[in-house]
């Protein structure tokens, strides 16, 4: 996993609550056996007018010219609910997103993001509302500094607001260090073996 320390990027404001992982990556694209090739199908049913994905829907946020280079997704509550498919964060990451900001996330989706190095940031609803309002008036760029746990806004008219966010300390460590989670746990194999030696036989 690549290390994540800080990221500066353009915000795409997706003003929809309860976005489920079926919407993020519909089932017909889950048949790949590789970890790549999902970005082109991100939000397929909203993004394309046809099933083949050749006709872009001009009304969909990510098809608008001003969001072509967006790398921070600003969205609403309960983002990533539903299916456990890690293909959803894979698709977001491959599309170019590095950070997802919302008032709340579904648990499995949140964990999947951490595990692939896509930074999920929870902010209070009021702050999310503020960011939505900044992004409505002009292009909003954010500087997300994981080492300081801060988000600084850079708007077209140079307004600056700073927010702080918190992350579980171990999640933060893994992201900053780009930890290979499996390799990390395998260093503790002796402890796992000791646990196994004490398990009831029926288990």
Helix extents (H) in the chain: 21-24, 44-47, 87-95, 107-116, 125-137, 169-177, 181-186, 189-197
Considering the complex, state which of residue 30 and residue 162 has its C-beta at the smaller distance from other proteins: 30
Binding mask 167-196 for other proteins (x = CB under 8 A): -xxxx-x-------xxx-xxxxx-xx--xx
**Between residue 46 and residue 85, which ones bind other proteins under the rule CB under 8 A?**
51, 76-78, 81-85
Give the distance, in angstroms, between the CA of residue 42 and the centroid of all CA atoms in the same chain: 12
Count of other CB atoms within 10 angstroms of residue 95: 20
Q: Whole-number minimum distance, CB 141 to other proteins, in Å? A: 27
- Could you tell me which residues come within 8 angstroms of residue 103 by beta carbon, excluding any fewer than 6 positions away? 76, 77, 122, 123, 124, 125, 128
Tell me how many degrees the CA angle 9-23-19 measures, rounded to the nearest 5. Answer: 65
Binding mask 109-148 for other proteins (x = CB under 8 A): --xx--xx--------------------------------
Contacting residues toward other proteins, per CB under 8 A: 17-18, 20, 22-23, 26-28, 30-35, 45, 51, 76-78, 81-87, 89, 104, 106-108, 111-112, 115-116, 168-171, 173, 181-183, 185-189, 191-192, 195-196, 199-203
């Amino acid at each position: 996993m690549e290390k994540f320390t800080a990221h500066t990027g353009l915000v795409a404001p997706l003003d929809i609550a309860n976005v489920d992982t079926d919407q993020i990556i519909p089932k017909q694209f889950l048949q790949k056996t590789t970890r790549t090739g999902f970005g082109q199908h991100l939000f397929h049913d909203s993004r394309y007018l046809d099933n083949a994905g050749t006709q872009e829907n001009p009304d969909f946020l990510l098809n608008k010219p001003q969001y072509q280079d967006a790398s921070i997704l600003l969205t609403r509550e309960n983002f990533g609910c539903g299916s456990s498919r890690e293909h959803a964060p894979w698709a977001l990451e491959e599309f170019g997103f590095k950070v997802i900001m919302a008032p709340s996330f579904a648990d499995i989706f949140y964990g999947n993001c951490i595990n692939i190095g896509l930074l999920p940031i929870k902010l209070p609803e009021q702050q999310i509302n503020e960011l939505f309002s900044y992004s409505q008036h002009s292009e909003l760029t954010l500087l997300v500094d994981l080492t300081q746990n801060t988000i600084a806004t850079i708007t077209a008219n140079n307004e600056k607001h700073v927010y702080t966010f918190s992350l579980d300390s171990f999640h933060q460590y893994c992201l900053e260090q780009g930890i290979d989670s499996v390799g990390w746990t395998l260093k503790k194999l002796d402890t796992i073996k000791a646990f196994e030696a004490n398990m009831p036989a029926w288990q």
